[in-house]
Amino acid sequence: MTRRSPLADWHLQATYRSAEAPVWLQDCSWRQRFGCKGPQASTWLESLGLTVPQPANSCAMDTNDVLVARLGATEFLVEAMGLHGQTVVGARERFPVPGVYPVIRQDAAFTLGGPRANDLLLETCSYPFASDANGTLVVMTSMVGVGVTVVPHRVRDTTRFHVWCDPSFGLYLWSTLVEIAEEMGGGAIASDGLKSTLRGES
Amino acid sequence: MRRLPPLSGEWIDRKQPLAFTFEGQSFSGYAGDTLSSALAANGQKIIGRSFKYHRPRGLLSVANHDSNAIMQVQHLGRVIPNVRADVTPLEDGMRVTAVNTRGGLARDSLQLLDSLSGFLPVGFYYKAFHSKRFFPKWERLFRNLTGLSKLDLNSSRRRTPKRYAFADVLVIGAGPSGLAAALSAADSGAEVMLVDENAWPGGSGLYARGGQDADARQTLQLMERVRKHTRIQLLCSTYAAGYYADHWVALVTPTEMVKVRARALIIAQGAFEQPAVFRNNDLPGIMLASGAQRLLHRYAVAPCDRVLILTANPQGYAAALDALERGIDVAAVIDLRTSPGPASSQLAERLDARGIPVRTGATIGSASAGRDGCLRSVVVNTRVQDEVASVTGESVQVDGVWMSVGFAPAHSLLLQAGARLQFETALGQYVPSSLPAGVFACGKVTGVYGFTSRLTDGTRVGEQAAAYVQRRAPKLRSTASTLGLTEMPSHPYPIASHAKGKNFVDFDEDLQLKDFANAVQEGFDSIELLKRYTTVGMGPSQGKHSNLNAMRILSKLRGEPVERIGATTARPMFHPVPLSHLAGRSFSPERATPLAKAHEALGAVWMLAGQWKRPEYYAVAGLARAQAIEGEVRAVRTGAGLIDVGTLGKIEIHGPDAAEFLDRVYAGRYGTLKVGMTRYGLMLDESGVIIDDGVIGRLADESFYFTTTTGNSASIYRELGRLATQWNMKIGLVNATGHYAAFNLAGPLSRRILTRLTNIDLAQASFPFLGLREGTVAGVPARLMRVGFVGELGYEIHVPADSALHVWDALLAAGSSEAVRPFGVEAQRVLRLEKGHLIVGQDTDGLTDPLQAGCEWAIKMDKPFFIGQRSLKVLEKKPKRQQLVGFQLVAPGATLPKEGHLVLSGGEMAGRVTSVTRSPTLNAVIGLAMVTPAVAASTAFRIRIDGGREVDATITPLPFYDAAGTRQKMVEAP
């Protein structure tokens, strides 16, 4: 059975742009991820060998390209940012774990990039990302009226933004942002058009 | 009016001449000119017609606040209505016309109205045109006579997206105090955004020179420092239109609206110069002194050849010196005061040295126009105790009058931000008495008028704002708000009555002094009532030139000091904002389940349920809506139907206190719920009112999964999170609403279909009614709940959203031999109504408690506590106010009532219909109604339907269908 992106219907009639576009969005919903919360969540993630960030609203990446984002004191989002998600799938299959509550994460997820990415954010989101792109920040805010989690990340001299939202809002959020990006000369790029990772390796 | 020789610091570029037309006549100007300055440079004294009497009008403030300087522009294929000429840059090829004329500005046929003004006093239409028969005709007539620009619907469109911006300190106003504040804040380490509505910063520091250039040079130095400062972003041609909570400020740029969030805000918007009121004070040629100075120094335009200065402060004397410096003949300076202050006296000595007469204790009694409709002469009268002492006075031939009699602080944004003001008698104006945290003010808006004093004030406030942002104590402490004040800048009553009237208080609305007396005489004697009756301050300038004088007049009429009169409420927008800026792109989030395309392919007709798009029904070729819905209902009752219920709120709760938590937030009992079972849940608020319902299932000892209504999932999740924190309970809440898809496979054949796809034992003994099981469906991990919302054997199937389409397709394929049919929201409503199930929010309202709704069975009053329990204990002892009952129409073929139709008993209103439908199963019209207890205890009532007709209904026990519940519990499926 094939997992289906919340943006799958959009891709059916998609026109993709080049990764050189001034602003682009790439659907990353296919990535393996899970969430967890509970009093033992942090300890359990550490026991799996994952790098767990200490302050809330921060994130960390381990050597296997697994992102651990701390969304609150005891709540986490874990995602395999690379193509291989075995670590994440393996961890997900260990539930139930005492003191750790599984959080289903079927998010619409995408990466926003390009030299004009921040311009698009300034039109759609009231958070000042430009001043906070230090690579460890997790921002939970609203974008075009939709609750999103955003991780800004520096890649060479530009900032990319990894965005997650509830899948039921995914199509609306994605379509709206793509429309604005197209007005800026950009748009959506194919999922395999840019081998993007949080580390910016390509 | 003419262009003057080049001047240091002028805003125009004489190397870039521009051509334009006004009212069809060709003119030229320069880059850097505004429409107003270019017209003035070309000697165009009359630029518009007044709103009501169509009197000729000229420039007044040159400061972006005049209704008479509103124009229509055609340029580059666009027709732009209501352009504000004072700030709109001249562009080559512009075709400019005046607004509100019939036959053009010069030959406006509606100028006849001026001679009829005696018959058109304020409020005349309230008294004259109240006939129902004739009012529509009068309304059409006046709509045709009034208005500003004409909208051209064929004009080309442009997008105006909004944008967010951020700053540590936002400084509004880039005059001397604003410049100083910005520099001070930036020097202290803050990131500063500095905005000004003009094309260049500098404010009065550049134009109010008093015949000398020292202040202007210092202002230019400040501007240069600002330009070079790396922590200051300067936005010109941008105004702050409104303040909103948490230091959000709406900035309007020429092309877009920018929503700025600042950590601190400095208001340095200065003050609006106010006109004097005397007969014919609106003639072209009569203007504010500051407006004349703007023309002189920004655009090198002489507004007149011979001017008389009417003043009551040092600024008027300084304007006279500026006029002399630029070669304009000054006929005299007329001072309303009998004893000018020391600053005025010093300046008067300089004027005296140049032979300019100064007359104190005098005023202009009236002005007269020449054949061209512009100012020709004024009569100067002695002024005694706020009155013109004699009608006859000295006539002075002038083509210009500059008025400098006082100021009104631009404090609208301060008020919107929550500042409190107090009237400072020594200043004759309101000043802030307290400011909200993070909001600062400096300069004229706080009563500081001297140039050096404003710099000092701005520097102090800028540092304080930076300190606020940096969370440290300020280094520069507060000083007196009226730094260096030597005399009052505003005259307390610059108003002269005249027997023949035409002494205008509000130029936007053509309001004369007598209009205020009439309004007060008729009882409209509070400032808010006066505003509404006279419409003072309700024109395009929003009272910037009229509110203060209106307050003074009301004060005099009521015999009370101005501070007792109060001010009208200041609301956004502070300036007129183009509708295109407000429109822009709007964001209205929509939610969709993963099956949206699948529904479309099946012919779904959509409806909105909160933010969700849901299939109302599936269209069938050749069938009307009602027939299609009826077919869906029959499929569920006789075979199987499948509905997407993924919009339901879905929440998980884990932890040792999970059961206790649910017992507190729901009215039922869940601590005793067995693992693998579900139970209906009713959620109440503290007053016992039903706010939500759903099904709670127990996954494990410490884990539950429950649903909420579609529209309430987000708010319920937030509230539960709040309660968990408040009660300090050991639980974890997970909002899984969008992450799980859900379908209800319902109907007597549903078990047979589902058996083909699942590894769960569906036998009655293994999976009874209200059971909850986990397993797989079509190979996908799934949660199944045996619930009976539609009153048939049914399975609610919850699967991860990314597998939704796979499972949906598999179910339809597996049920093809049973003719399983997708059904929509409307069929579900019929089915649930047949079963007598209520919908929270439709059959209940904001006052309905479970006792009224007949849900006593769902509340466990013997629990130690649940939200709403205390109120229910009180309500139990009181007679019910209303009660939900089922009804059936006596005549099955009667017209279908609608939800909300009145229930009548004995001819009196006795309730309302909450749900109603034609039941294909029962072949009857059935419904629910919220009625009085007396009606509920009876057997019948009437319903008033559209058109006033009435239909008979009988009260019917619930449910209408399968009262024993055997179908949903179906032990042995066919």
* Tens of pLDDT, residues B533-579: 999 988 888 889 999 999 999 999 999 988 888 877 778 988 888 88
In this predicted structure, which of B61-70, B163-172, B640-649 has the lowest mean pLDDT? B61-70
> What is each CA distance from B893 to B209, B626, B889, in whole angstroms?
87, 15, 9
Show the tokens assigned to B765. Answer: 């003994």
Nearest C-alpha in A relative to B777 = A1
Contacts of B37 (CB under 8 A, 6+ apart): B12, B29, B62, B90, B295, B298, B299, B301
Mean pLDDT of the B311-317 span: 95
- Residue of B105, B48, B233, B741 whose CA lies nearest to A166: B741
Widest Cα–Cα separation across chain B: 115
Q: Which of B591, B778, B805 sits opposite A168 (nearest CB)?
A: B591
Interface membership of B730 toward A (CB under 8 Å)? yes
Q: What per-residue confidence (pLDDT) applies to A101?
A: 96
Q: Residue B189 is encoded by which pair of tokens?
A: 């380490």
Cα B202 to Cα B215: distance, rounded to the nearest angstrom:
10
Give the count of Cβ contacts less than 8 A between chain A and B: 110
**C-alpha distances in Å from residue B607, one per residue of B18, B64, B450, B591, B620:** 56, 47, 64, 12, 17
8 A C-beta contact, residue A98 and residue A83: no
- Mean pLDDT over B133-140 rounds to 83
Report DSSP letters for B887-903, one per residue: EEESSTTSPPP-TTPEE
In A, which residues are within 8 Å of B738 by CB distance?
106, 166-169
Instruction: Give yes or no for a contact between A50 and A30, defined as CB atoms under 8 angstroms apart.
Output: no
Instruction: Report the alpha-carbon distance of residue B653 to residue B272 in Å, rounded.
Output: 60
Euclidean distance between CA atoms B965 and B179, whole angstroms: 78
pLDDT level of residue B972 (50, 70, 90 thresholds): low
Q: Mean pLDDT in chain A?
A: 88
Q: Does the structure show a pLDDT above 90 at A131?
A: no
For residue B165, which residues of chain A lie inside 8 Å, CB to CB?
122
Decide if B736 and A9 are in contact by the 8 Å CB cutoff.
no
Q: Which residue of A has its CA nearest to B261?
A: A126
Segment B589-598 shows an average pLDDT of 94
User: What's B653's DSSP letter?
Assistant: E
Choose from B590, B644, B648, B777 for mutation: most chain A CBs within 10 A.
B590
Distance of alpha carbon B663 from alpha carbon B653, whole angstroms: 12
* CB atoms B588 and A74 under 8 Å: no
Q: What is the structure's pLDDT at A152?
A: 92
Which range (A152-166, B246-260, B386-400, B899-913) has the least confidence?
B386-400
Q: What is the mean pLDDT of chain B?
A: 93
Closest in B587, B590, B802 to A4, CB measured: B802
Instruction: Quote the minimal CA–CA distance from B704 to chain A in Å.
Output: 11
Mapped onto helix, strand or coil, the DSSP state of residue B495 is strand
Q: Which of B204-213, B484-493, B791-800, B912-921 comes out lowest in average pLDDT?
A: B484-493
SS3 assignment for B273-327: ECCCECECCCCCCEEEHHHHHHHHHHCCEECCCEEEEEECCHHHHHHHHHHHHCC
Tokens 């205008």: give the residue.
B504
Average pLDDT on B625-642 reads 97
Q: Spell out a b/e string for B860-889, using b for 16 or more CB atoms within 10 Å of the CB, else e.
A: eeebeebbbbebbeebeeeeeebbbbbbbb
Which pLDDT band holds residue B484 (cuts at 50, 70, 90)?
low
Enter the pTM of the model: 0.85
Task: Residue B116: count other Cβ atoms within 10 Å of its Cβ.
Answer: 9
Q: Who among A29, A102, A168 is closest to B593 (CB)?
A: A168
With contacts defined as CB-CB under 8 Å, which chain A residues touch B654?
38, 101
What single string gives the DSSP state of each residue in A101-121? EEE----EEEEEESTTHHHHH
pLDDT of B659 above 90: yes
The answer to whether residue B157 scores a pLDDT higher than 80 is no
Q: pLDDT of B48-73, one tens digit each?
A: 999 889 999 999 999 988 888 999 99
The three-class DSSP label of residue B269 is coil
First to last CA, chain B: 98
Query: Which residues of chain B make contact with A168, given a CB cutoff of 8 A?
Result: 591-593, 612, 646, 737-738, 801
Question: pLDDT at position A200, please?
Answer: 31
The number of beta carbons lying within 10 Å of the beta carbon of residue B5 is: 8
| Residue B969 pLDDT | 83
- Mapped onto helix, strand or coil, the DSSP state of residue B145 is helix
- CB nearest B590 (choices: A124, A125, A172): A172
User: How distant is the Cα of B612 from the closest Cα of chain A, in angstroms?
Assistant: 9
- Rounded to a whole number of angstroms, the distance from the CA of B513 to the nearest CA of chain A is 48
Q: Which of B161, B594, B734 sits opposite A123 (nearest CB)?
A: B161
Best to test chain B binding among A76, A168, A171 (most B CBs inside 10 Å): A168
Radius of gyration of chain A (CA): 16
Q: Which two tokens stand for residue A166?
A: 């509830």
Q: Do A4 and B259 touch (CB under 8 A)?
A: no
CB B886 within 8 A of CB B960: yes
- What is the pLDDT at residue A150? 96
At residue B788, the pLDDT reads 82
pLDDT tens digits, residue range B438-480?
999 999 999 999 999 999 999 999 999 999 999 998 886 665 5
In this prediction, residues B408-437 reach a mean pLDDT of 91
- Residue B192 class from Cβ within 10 Å (0-12 exposed, 13-18 middle, 19+ buried)? buried
Higher pLDDT residue, B845 or B575? B845
B974/A59 Cα distance (integer angstroms): 55
Q: What is the pLDDT of residue B908?
A: 92
CB of B492 within 8 A of CB of B405?
Answer: no
Residue B165 forms contact with A (CB below 8 Å) = yes
| B739 touching A (Cβ < 8 Å) | yes
Chain A positions touching B159 (Cβ under 8 A) are: 183
Say how many CA atoms lie within 13 Å of B737 toward its Cβ: 23
